[in-house]
């Protein structure tokens, strides 16, 4: 399935989640009663960002039949709508459920998780780079050892040739 179509499906799920929270507020329910809808919204938001990153890869493929403008419009529209829905959700949490601290705590925790994931990715990249450097050094050492061995063999043969030539000259009595 094309990423933009996946985004549209996930976007519809996010809209349904916000609608569910809105109904819970109207019915006077507690925030814990609509936990799943809130979680579904933020899950959808994360999925949209993941799929958005995939669209950047899809756009460069020649078999992609959609115009860049059409794709950009869809993406920008959905991102703006997601932002509006998040603002609406935040306001419902603050004013509808009287849970002003919940959204802020969630944002802080989200920032912490994102930072931890970013750090883990950077750490993995550093390890991969270090492993690649280690392999390059090993390869360079092997190449250097081979070059040294070849140089020694050549030097030995040249030395033996020189010694043989000197020995031969002595055998000839200095006469050519």
Extents of the domains making up the chain: 3-98, 104-176
Q: Could you tell me the pTM of the whole model?
A: 0.60
Q: 23: number of CA atoms within 13 Å, CB side?
A: 10
Per-residue pLDDT of the chain (176 residues; tens, 9 = 90+): 566 677 778 888 888 888 888 888 888 888 888 888 888 888 888 888 887 777 766 555 556 567 778 878 887 888 898 899 999 988 888 888 777 788 888 889 989 998 999 999 999 999 999 999 999 999 999 999 999 999 999 999 999 999 998 888 888 876 65
Residue 66's φ and ψ, nearest 5 degrees, are -85, 145
Structure-derived torsion over alpha carbons of residues 155, 161, 167, 169, reported in degrees to the nearest 10: -130
């Amino acid at each position: 399935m094309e990423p933009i179509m996946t985004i549209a499906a996930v976007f519809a799920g996010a809209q349904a989640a916000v609608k569910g929270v809105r109904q819970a507020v109207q019915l006077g329910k507690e925030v814990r009663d609509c936990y799943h809808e809130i979680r579904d919204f933020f899950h959808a938001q994360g999925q949209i960002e993941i799929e958005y990153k995939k669209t950047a890869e899809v756009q460069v493929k020649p078999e992609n039949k959609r115009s860049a403008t059409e794709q950009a419009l869809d993406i920008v529209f959905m991102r703006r709508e997601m932002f509006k829905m998040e603002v609406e959700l935040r306001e419902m949490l603050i004013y509808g459920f009287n849970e002003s601290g919940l959204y802020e705590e969630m944002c802080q925790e989200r920032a912490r998780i994102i930072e931890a994931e970013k750090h883990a990715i950077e750490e993995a990249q550093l390890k991969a780079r270090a492993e690649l450097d280690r392999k390059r050094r090993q390869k360079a050492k092997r190449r250097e050892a081979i070059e040294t061995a070849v140089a020694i063999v050549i030097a030995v043969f040249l030395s033996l040739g020189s010694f043989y030539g000197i020995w031969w000259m002595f055998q000839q009595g200095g006469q050519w």
